[in-house]
């Protein structure tokens, strides 16, 4: 699966697009009140990615087991320090309501934690590199 994300921002205009295997989807995130930048910072989006990944993976893994899930709630918490510092103390909790015995639901939740791709990406400290820069003087 190939995934890309793109942000284009200028005063009072913020566009966020994600693409998976060539299929693009716009995600609505307004500009900051100042008009510049996103109203949702990267830390918030990172934590949302963790919560969304686990939620989606619960449904995927439950489907493989024939478990009907009625509801999933996921909350991710953590802290960011000064500019440039990575997040610390990231934890998450989940609640799953499903048509299965409690032990099966717990097993599903633990197995999903072990398989959750975003969680596993952060757990192995995947390198991220700035690949290309383009500096353009305004008005040219």
Per-residue model confidence as pLDDT tens digits over 77-101: 999 999 999 999 999 999 999 999 9
Between 55 and 125, where is the model more confident? 55
Domain limits of the chain?
Answer: 1-40, 41-126
Of the candidates 8, 10, 41, the residue with the CA atom closest to the CA atom of residue 24? 8
Nearest Cα to 67, choosing from 37, 32, 93, 96? Answer: 96
- 69-79 pLDDT, tens digit per residue, is 999 999 999 99
Asked whether residue 22 carries a pLDDT value surpassing 70, the answer given is yes
| pLDDT reported for residue 81 | 92
For all residues of the chain together, what is the average pLDDT? 95
Which CATH architecture does the domain made up of 41-126 adopt? 2-Layer Sandwich (3.30)
């Amino acid at each position: 699966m190939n995934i890309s994300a793109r942000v284009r921002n200028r005063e009072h205009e913020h566009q966020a697009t994600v693409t998976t295997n060539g299929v693009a989807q716009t995600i609505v995130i307004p500009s900051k009140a100042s008009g510049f930048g996103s109203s949702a910072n990267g830390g918030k989006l990172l934590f949302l990615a963790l919560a969304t990944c686990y939620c989606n993976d619960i449904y995927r893994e439950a489907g493989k087991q024939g478990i009907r899930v009625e509801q999933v709630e996921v909350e991710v918490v953590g802290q960011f320090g000064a500019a440039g510092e990575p997040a610390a103390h990231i934890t998450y909790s989940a609640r799953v309501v499903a048509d299965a015995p409690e032990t099966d639901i717990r097993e599903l939740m633990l197995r999903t934690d072990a398989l959750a791709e975003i969680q596993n990406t952060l757990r192995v400290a995947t390198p991220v590199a700035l690949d290309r820069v383009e500096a353009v003087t305004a008005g040219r």
